Structure 1
């Protein structure tokens, strides 16, 4: 790990706007919870069935939690979860378990992603989590992670544009999905790629404080070959030229840039989720961020010290995606895996049949 990589930041809760003070549910009423333990963040949503709420058909969020835990800090170099990272994460998971107990959750699913997929000591860590919090966390593969993110974001997409390109820039990996939208709200997943580069892993490789244009372009060049392989398989560029592709990004990178573009003094999910970012706006903001040092980035609203060390790595991944597939604008989703899990839990509840939580009307097409 480079010497300039700072320790994990203090607690950050970005979902405070989602949580409400709704009364506890009546006895027998279903309450669902979805927990996403990523390389950088631990996120929880608690919801109950509803017809439509804030663009998400099927459920109403009644509680939420998000904390930067940096679980994957140093995993790329050591292959292990560090004691400090595990301690931070267990503390956050205790809070999640307490919230679920208070909200009388009747059905939940907890998943872990890239850091836990990579770490050799993850089995021991999962045993500790179960012992200290009571939570059973499932380590999912990259394809299911991407499928859940797509399922969570589909309600934001325009049904008049036949193809969707959704990307999720995570801490340890980046998932890109290409699919066709179907009548009735479903989608036919054509192909998924998981790139073993995320904001934490890329920042650890290239440094994360004083990054000039040369280093920034080197980060983009690290990502580009992975995208070229995906393009060779899917021929997305041809669909873009025909005006048949829409793009959506779900990650801290795109939501942060969206908040900056709106001039928010403080991040507000209700204003960011569902907004659009033009590629010209992305270029303008990334150019400005590259020109700033660590302190300058930390001083920016919607970034702060918790994201100042990682934001440029995320911007480099986003830049590579925008250059490879020049759609012209992208929709911003402050949603993803958790919402995909909730759709699956809701579907299971409504049908009474056990199935994987991969979203409504989902079917996989293998190329």
Structure 2
């Protein structure tokens, strides 16, 4: 990897995030991380259209990000590259060209990446600290869930992007407030059907057991912050924390019983994530069932780290 300062921006279905990092002697040193819940994928599952309001929310977030980036782009340490990727919502949108043009107006070149590329970038970022371990990385997003299995630090041996995401599932199934038991059951059945066939095929080809399941992104980190009742998010307590299936079930059961207004008051839950968090927790549960896992480790190193690694390797 080439030493230098890099900026990674990930525009997801629910969140928009940025990481500024220095690469030195093959190590990533994070200087700043920012996120905004922008809900780019609002309504996209049904309409396949990015709304102007959603795109404007992303534009506002990116404008803030660029101002922060400017403070880190100094003569002594210039930003070598800024890589901007968009995932599920932009993949599904028929008017993605309009989104490209909007970002070009900000001086950003957007890359809408495939689900397979998203999974590969996430695997690279998430496994950098699990050298020689045989791991599964799970990234629950708003529009899709990426699952990769392989040896940490290498290309995954098995990888798949499922069109199962917390916003997509919420808009399809969880229509009542709070969700009705029949809606929860229908969502679980859909998720289980999507995951189980793939895992059956993969498990027949895997020669060694998993050392651990690694979960990244907002659903997984929220599980820890709720369990620990964090009034202020503490990355040092979230990163590398272990969550058992029993603990996850307890959190899911608690959240799904609450109407949205009460769910937004739960300590440890970002109120802006409350509308889709039940579906996110259900997805994590169903992945664990399908993969026969009883716990997962949360990693704050994810696709953003993978983007930085790719930039540094290509510089």
1:37 and 2:11 are equivalent in the alignment: yes
Partners in 2 of 1:216 and 1:206 — Cα distance? 7
Structure 1 residue 47 corresponds to structure 2 residue 16: no
- Separation in 1 of the partners of 2:44 and 2:20? 30
Is the aligned partner of 1:179 residue 2:153? no
Gapped runs of 5+ residues in structure 2? 74-78
Matched-pair contact (CA < 8 Å) for 1:245–1:327 = no
TM-score normalised per structure 1: 0.79
Unaligned ranges ≥5, structure 1: 1-28, 52-56, 350-367
The CA deviation at 1:236 is 6.4
Deviations 1:261-319 (A, max 9, x none): 12322222221011111111111211222222222211111214211111101011111
Map of 1:157 onto structure 2? 130
How far apart are the structure 2 equivalents of 1:89 and 1:255?
A: 22
The CA RMSD over aligned residues, in Å, is 1.9
- Is 1:255 the equivalent of 2:221? yes
1:1-367 aligned within 5 A: 30-50=4-24, 58-104=27-73, 105-131=79-105, 133-157=106-130, 159=132, 161=133, 163-181=134-152, 186-207=153-174, 209-235=177-203, 243-349=209-315
Superposed structure 1 runs of 4+ greater than 3 Å apart: 236-239, 242-245
Structure-2 separation of matches of 1:234 and 1:345: 31
| Alpha-carbon distance in 2 for matches of 1:341, 1:243 | 28
Between the aligned partners of 2:30 and 2:210, the Cα distance in structure 1 is 32
CA–CA distance in structure 1, aligned partners of residues 196 and 178 of structure 2: 29
* Alpha-carbon displacement from aligned partner over 1:304-363 (angstroms, at most 9, x marks no partner): 4211111101011111111112222100112311110111222334xxxxxxxxxxxxxx
Note the C-alpha offset of 1:238.
Answer: 7.0
Calculate the TM-score normalised by the size of structure 2.
Answer: 0.91
1: distance between equivalents of 2:224 and 2:23?
A: 29
- Kindly state the Cα deviation for residue 158 of structure 1 after the two structures are TM-superposed: 6.3
- 2:76 is aligned to none
Aligned residue for 2:275, secondary structure, equals coil
- Count of aligned pairs: 307
Q: Give me the whole-angstrom Cα distance separating, in 2, the residues matched to 1:63 and 1:255.
A: 18
